[in-house]
A and B are shown apart, each in its own frame.
Chain A
C-alpha cells in the first residue's frame, strides 16, 4: 500500500514536470533540462559508486562518448539508431574499463578513472585531427529544448526505477556488502567481480545516454566541450551532498546544487572553480554521508 502511494505520487510529479515546458518560458525549460540531466547523472553514478564506494571520476568519459557518437552519426542514420549505437559504445567501453580496473581499490581507482576521462578526450582529439581531419562537429537534429528535456525526463524516471528495483533486490544487498568488505561478501557466495562489473556497465550506459541526448543542445561539439572534467566533479559532489547510498539522495543533492552552479557561473564566472572546490571540501567534512543521513541523525538525536 505504501509503495503504491509512493508510486502514484512519483507519477503525478512526473506528469507535472512533463507538462511544465508548455507553460513556462524557454529559459526555465533550459534550466529544467540541465537539472534533469544532472539528476540522471548523479543517480546513475550512485548506482555503482554509492554502495560499492568505488569513487569514479570517469563520468565525463562516458558522457562525452555519448555526445560525440551523436555528433558523428547524426546524419548517417535515424535518431533512435544513433541513441542505440551510443548506448552500445558506452556499454562496450565500460566493459573494457571495468574488466581492467575493478581490481584496483581506493584511491588508485579514483586516479585511474580521472586519467581515463582525459585519455578518452585526447584519443578523440587525436583521431579527429589526424584521421578524419575535422576538429569540431555540428549536430543538426530538429529538437527544441523541450524535446531534449522530455527524453531526459524519461531517462531520469527509468534510472530512478532501476535504482529502486536494485535497492530492494538481492543484488542491492550484495552491492552494500561489497562496499563494506569484499572478502566477506565473496565468502558469503557473492561473485564480487561480476556484480561490480554489471553495475559499472549499467551506470556507465545511462551516463553515456545522458551525453547522447544532450548533444543536440550544443549544436557545435568539440572534445574540450563534451569532455569537460567539471561534469565528473559536479556529478560526484551532487551525489555526495544528497547521499549516494539512498534512492533519492542524488536527486536531493542535484537540484539545489545545479541551481546554485547556474547562478554562480552567471554571477561569478571567474571564481566558479574555487567556489566549487570549497563547497566540495565543506560537504565532505560536514556531512560525509549526505543530507538525508544528516537529517535522519538529527531526527534520531531529537527523539533520544
Chain B
C-alpha cells in the first residue's frame, strides 16, 4: 500500500541554527504515529512544514502520493491535511458552530447552508460538544476549547490529522476522554501524526514512534521498544540515565 505521508530529507534552518536536519519518515494509511523528542528538537517545525505554515529549505513532503512541499496552508488543507495548534486557537468573534463551519466551507468539499450546519453539529457531537454551537468560544473551558480545536480540524474532512500536543494540559480524567477520541478516529481509519510528551497517551495510541533530538531522527520503531533505547532515554534525561 502506498504511504499516506512521506517525508524525505526535510531540512529547515533559522539563521545559523539547524532546526530540522535531513528528516525522513513515512506513515501508512490508518496509522497513528507518535513524533517525540525533547523541547526544541524540531517536532513542531516538522509539523509546520507539513501543514505549509513554514517553507522548507530542502526535501519533500508527499501526501497520498502528491507533492505538497511548496503548497500554501490553504492548499495543503484542501489536499486532506488538517492540524490542531500547540496552544488552542479558537476564533473568538465566531460562535462555536461557526468555528467548525469555517473548515466545512473551505475544506475539501466546500459545504454551505443547511447541510453545513447539520455537519457542524455532527462534528461537535463527535467531540462531545453536542448542542453547544451557539455559545461564544470565550465561555468554553480548556478541555472544551481543545474539543473545538479537534472539531474544526475534522470538519475539513482530512485524511491526515496532525495533532500538536493536543493532549497537553489535560487532567487525568480529561486525558482519558482525549485518548478515547483519538482512538475513535483511529477506528474510522484516520491517519494521525501525534506530537506528544505524555507517554501514557503515546503508549495507548501509537503503534509506532519517531523520536527526534536536535533536529534529527534518532530512533524509529515499535513504541514500547523505541522508548527503552538508551539513545532515546539519553535525549530526554541526559547521559547519567542512559
Contacts and interface: CB of A to CB of B under 8 A. Distances in A.
Partners in one complex: yes
A173 B101 CA distance: 8
Interface in A183-230: 183-192
B91 A181 contact: yes
B190 interface: no
Contact of A191 (B74, B89, B156): B74
B93 interface: yes
A174 interface: yes
A183 B51 CA distance: 11
Contact of A187 (B53, B101, B105): B53
A177 interface: yes
A176 interface: yes
Given A176-B91, A180-B93, A181-B91, A187 B83 contact: yes
B112 interface: yes
B227 interface: no
B103 A181 contact: no
A184 B89 contact: yes
A174 B89 contact: no
A88 interface: no
Contact of A189 (B74, B85, B98): B74
B82 interface: yes
A170 B74 contact: no
Interface residues of B, number: 30
A239 interface: no
Nearest to B106: A189
Interface string B87-119: 001011110001001110111101010000000
Interface string B167-200: 0000000000000000000000000000000000
B34 to A, nearest CB: 21
A183 B53 CA distance: 8
Contact of B152 (A176, A188, A190): A188
A180 B94 contact: yes
B78 interface: yes
Which of B78, B83, B103 counts the most chain A CB atoms within 10 A? B103
B13 interface: no
B77 interface: yes
A245 interface: yes
Interface in B49-86: 51-53, 72-74, 76-78, 82-83, 85
Contacts of B52: 186-187
Contact of B73 (A174, A176, A183): A183
A179 interface: yes
Interface of A: 170, 173-174, 176-177, 179-181, 183-192, 245
User: What are the 9 A-B residue pairs with the smallest beta carbon separation, nearest first?
Assistant: A189-B106, A189-B77, A186-B73, A180-B91, A170-B105, A188-B103, A191-B74, A188-B102, A190-B106
